[in-house]
């Protein structure tokens, strides 16, 4: 969990900060109402800022579901190591799931 957090700060945060700065800077230039320059500089800056923000969030979202976010934990039942996503704190391995399903079936009959 901490690894993903550190990655967010080193990779996603700078680009997020840049896009926010661009976005707010653009609004600032628009607010200054410098004849000609406000529209010429402000509007593109705001638009690029918005696009950057979307891209940053997209990257963060993709990272969450990517291979990079996988890590090892022990199965809650048999303690066998299994790969899980970073947002999963606890998991049962396939083998134990199958055993549990079998047991449930048996108890039903």
Interface residues with Zn ion (CB under 5 A) are 75, 77-78, 80, 93, 96
Running DSSP on this structure, what letter comes out for residue 59?
Answer: H
Answer yes or no: are the C-beta atoms of 46 and 31 closer than 8 Å: no
- Structural tokens at position 24: 């707010």
Name the residue nearer to Zn ion (CB basis): 61 or 77.
77
Name the residue nearer to Zn ion (CB basis): 20 or 96.
96
Min CB(107)–Zn ion separation in Å: 19
Min CB(99)–Zn ion separation in Å: 8
Min CB(83)–Zn ion separation in Å: 13
Min CB(89)–Zn ion separation in Å: 16
CB atoms within 10 A of CB 45: 20
Name the residue nearer to Zn ion (CB basis): 11 or 91.
91
Phi and psi, residue 89, nearest 5°: -85, -30
The answer to whether the Cα torsion of 68, 74, 78, 84 is positive or negative is negative
Name the residue nearer to Zn ion (CB basis): 90 or 109.
90
Classified as helix, coil or strand, 71 is: strand
């Amino acid at each position: 969990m901490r690894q993903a957090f550190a990655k967010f700060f080193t990779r996603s945060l700078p680009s997020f900060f840049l896009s926010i700065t661009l976005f707010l800077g653009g609004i600032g230039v628009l607010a200054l109402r410098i004849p000609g320059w406000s529209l010429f500089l402000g509007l593109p800056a705001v638009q690029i800022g918005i696009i950057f923000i979307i891209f940053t969030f997209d990257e963060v979202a993709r990272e969450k579901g990517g291979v990079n976010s996988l890590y090892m934990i022990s199965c809650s039942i048999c303690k066998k190591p299994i790969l899980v996503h970073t947002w999963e704190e606890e998991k049962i391995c396939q083998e134990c799931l199958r055993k549990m399903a079998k047991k449930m079936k048996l108890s039903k009959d």
